[in-house]
Amino acid sequence: MGKYYLGIDLGGTDIKTGVIDEDYNIVAKHVIPTQANRSVDEVVADMAAAGKTAVKMAGLSESDIVYVGVGVPGAVNSKTDVVLLAPNLPGWRKIDFIPIFQKYWDIPVFLGNDADAAALAEVYAGAAKGYDYAIVLTLGTGVGGGLVFDKKLFTGCGLGTELGHIIIVTGGEKCGCGSHGCLEAYASVTALLREAKRFMKEYPDSLLHELCGGDTSQISGRIIFDAAKQDDVAAKAIVADYVKYLGTGIASLCNALRPEVVILGGGVCNAGEPLFGPLDKIVESEIFSTDDGGLPPILRAELGNDAGIIGAALFGVGR
Amino acid sequence: MGKYYLGIDLGGTDIKTGVIDEDYNIVAKHVIPTQANRSVDEVVADMAAAGKTAVKMAGLSESDIVYVGVGVPGAVNSKTDVVLLAPNLPGWRKIDFIPIFQKYWDIPVFLGNDADAAALAEVYAGAAKGYDYAIVLTLGTGVGGGLVFDKKLFTGCGLGTELGHIIIVTGGEKCGCGSHGCLEAYASVTALLREAKRFMKEYPDSLLHELCGGDTSQISGRIIFDAAKQDDVAAKAIVADYVKYLGTGIASLCNALRPEVVILGGGVCNAGEPLFGPLDKIVESEIFSTDDGGLPPILRAELGNDAGIIGAALFGVGR
C-alpha cells in the first residue's frame, strides 16, 4: 500500500480537507464551514475532526497518514510555525498552531500559507508540472503568490513572500496592506471591479449597465469580459488597463526572479484567450529578456479549488 | 598554510585581480586596463596573466590557488557558464568563457555576474556579515543587484536576477533594457543626473547652476546633495524624488523577497544620512510588514571597489 497525506485548506468560509495519495490524487475530500467567529481552539478542533472524517471516507485509518499539511490564509513564519496574522480569521494573530492541532490529533503537522500551497500544488500536480522554477499568482479578492524554486517553496527569511505587494505604480492606488501602488491594488478582482465601476460612471451608455441589470454592484469579471467580446468600448478599456497592470507586474517579477514559468489562477482566468493573449504581448514588451531565454510561458492554473488541499499535503516535501 | 583564492573583476575600464585568503582579506591586488576594444581572446589572456601577477605579488605560487572566480559585467547563464551579453564589452555575446581562460591558466574557474559578486562579498565580508538573507543593490550607471539567500547566491532558473529591472512605474520612463519604468530608470546615478538637468532648466536661479560652474554637464550626485544641504529648493526636490523612487523599489523588493537586510552601494551612498534618513522613512511607509518583522535595516555597503574581487573569489563557495 502506498503512502497517504492529509491536506487542510483553511479559508474564511470553509475548511477543506482531503486525503492525497503519492501521485497527488485526492482520494477523499471533506469540507465543513469555518464559522470563523468561533475561538481559534474550536476552529482547530473542527479542522482535526474534519480531517479524520476524510481519512475514514478514504477507507484508511489515521496511522496510514504520514503527516498533515495545513494552509492558512495569512502570514506564517515558516521558521517558528507561528501564524502571524490571518486577515479573514478574527483572533488569528500570533497563533502557535501546531501544538493546538496536536491536542486533537497527535501527528506530524506542517504549516504554510495558502498561496504557497497553491504554488506547490501546481508545480507537482498541475500546470507547472515539469518545471522547477515557477511563480504562481492567484487573482482573487487579493493577489496571492507563491514562488517555487528548485521544486522547493521559497519563503525569504521565513516570513513568506508577498508577491501581490510588489509595487508597480509608485505613489499609486492605496493598497489594503498600507502601501500604495501594489500589484494587488491593480490586478486583484477587487481592483478590476473598482475600475469597472469608475468606467461605468463615465460611460452611462455602456453595455455593462444592461448586463448588470442596471445594478452596478452586480458587475463581475465575467460580465466585463462578455461586454468586451461584444465590442463595448468601456469594457474593452477596463480589460486593457487590467491587462497592462497585471502584465507589468508579471514582467517585474520575472525580471527579479527569472522563473521558468508563470501560472495564473483565480476565476478571472476563465476569460481565457481575451485575457492571456494581450497579457503575453504586454509581458513580452516589458520584460528584460536575453536571446538565451528569460521570457517564460504564462499558463493557466489547472487545479482550481483543489490546489489548496493538494499543496498543503505537499508542505512536508523535503522538510 | 591557509587556502587562497583568486578573484577577477572584469569591468569595461579595468581588469581587477586579487588574491584572497580564507578570511576574505585581499593579500595582493593587480589592476590593468581592459582595453575592451580588443578581441575576447586577448582580453581573457590578459586576465589570466594579471591574475598570475597578483599571485606572484602575494608571494605565492599558482598551485597555492584553489580556484579562480570571475565576475563579468553582464548576464551569465550560471548553468552553462556562458556569458550571454556584457553591454560594455563589445563582442562579449554568447562567450563560453571557461575553456578560453583555461587555455592560459589550467585551474578550476567559477563564473558569475559582477553585481552578484558584490552581493556575496558584502554578505561574507562586508556590511551584511552575520545575515543569511540579503539584497545588495549597487547604484551606478545602472542599478545592479544581487540576492543572497541562505548564504548562497540566488540566480533564478540560471539566468541571474535583474533587480534593477523591477518595474516601479507602469508605463514610466523608458529604460535601457527596452522596458519602461524600471527601478534603474529612476534610481541609477544616470537617472539622478537626468532629473537634475530637468530641474535645472525649470529653476534657473538654483544654486546647482553655480556649483556646476554654469555647465549643466558637470552636475554630479555630490553637487546635488551639497546644494540640498544648503537648502536649495531644486536640489531638495531632486533628492526627495530620487529617494521616493529608490525607497519604493526597495520596499517592493522586500515585499517579494523578504530579506533580513538591504545593502546599498555606489558613490551616491557617500551622501550618508541625507540619503539614508529619508529612505528609511519611505521604505517603512511602503513596505508590507507584520508585527513579527519584515522591515529590514538598510545599510551602506562597506567593501567599495574591492567587493567585485572578493565576491568573485567567493563564487566557488558551496559549488
How far is Cα A151 from Cα A145, in angstroms, rounded to an integer?
A: 15
B255–A166 C-beta distance less than 8 A: yes
Residues of chain B with Cβ-Cβ distance to A258 below 8 Å are 155-162
B84–A161 C-beta distance less than 8 A: no
Task: Indicate the pTM of the whole model.
Answer: 0.92
For the segment B281-302, the average pLDDT, to the nearest whole number, is: 86
For the segment B263-292, the average pLDDT, to the nearest whole number, is: 90
Nearest to B258 among A157, A170, A292 (CB): A157
Query: At what angle are helices B221-229 and B233-257 packed, to 10 degrees?
Result: 110
Residues of chain A with Cβ-Cβ distance to B262 below 8 Å are none
How far is Cα A156 from Cα A165, in angstroms, rounded to an integer?
A: 14
Contact A7, A18 (CB under 8 A): yes
pLDDT band at B79 (very low <50, low <70, confident <90, very high): confident
Query: How many Å lie between the alpha carbon of B39 and the closest alpha carbon of chain A?
Result: 22
For residue range A16-33, what is the model confidence (pLDDT) as tens digits?
A: 999 999 999 999 999 999
Residue-level pLDDT at A132: 94
- pLDDT over 80 at A158, yes or no: no
Q: How far apart, in Å, do the first and last CA atoms of chain A sit?
A: 23
Task: Find the closest chain B residue to A85 by CA distance.
Answer: B290
- pLDDT over 80 at A295, yes or no: yes
Residue-level pLDDT at B21: 97
- pLDDT over 90 at A74, yes or no: no
DSSP state of B269: G
pLDDT band at B291 (very low <50, low <70, confident <90, very high): low
Residues of chain B with Cβ-Cβ distance to A76 below 8 Å are none
- pLDDT over 80 at B292, yes or no: no
Burial class from Cβ neighbours inside 10 Å (0-12, 13-18, 19+) for residue B214 reads: exposed
Residues of chain B with Cβ-Cβ distance to A288 below 8 Å are 162, 165, 177-179, 182
- pLDDT over 80 at A294, yes or no: no
Better-scored residue on pLDDT, B318 or B49: B49
Q: What average pLDDT does the structure give for chain B?
A: 94
Q: What average pLDDT does the structure give for chain A?
A: 94
For residue range A98-122, what is the model confidence (pLDDT) as tens digits?
A: 999 999 999 999 999 999 999 999 9
Best A93, A94, A162, A177 member to test B by mutation, with max B CBs in 10 Å, is: A162
Residue-level pLDDT at A79: 84
Best B155, B167, B291 member to test A by mutation, with max A CBs in 10 Å, is: B167
Task: Find the closest chain B residue to A160 by CA distance.
Answer: B258
Task: Find the closest chain A residue to B163 by CA distance.
Answer: A256
Question: What number is the ipTM of this complex?
Answer: 0.91
Long-range contacts of B271-274 (CB under 8 A, 24+ apart): B271/B221, B271/B222, B271/B225, B272/B300, B274/B225, B274/B228, B274/B229, B274/B239
Cell numbers given for A59:
477507507
- pLDDT over 70 at A246, yes or no: yes
For the segment B282-303, the average pLDDT, to the nearest whole number, is: 86
Residue-level pLDDT at A290: 64
Nearest to A159 among B85, B179, B258 (CB): B258
- pLDDT over 90 at B193, yes or no: yes
Residues of chain B with Cβ-Cβ distance to A155 below 8 Å are 258
pLDDT band at A159 (very low <50, low <70, confident <90, very high): confident
For the segment A120-127, the average pLDDT, to the nearest whole number, is: 97
For the segment B173-200, the average pLDDT, to the nearest whole number, is: 95
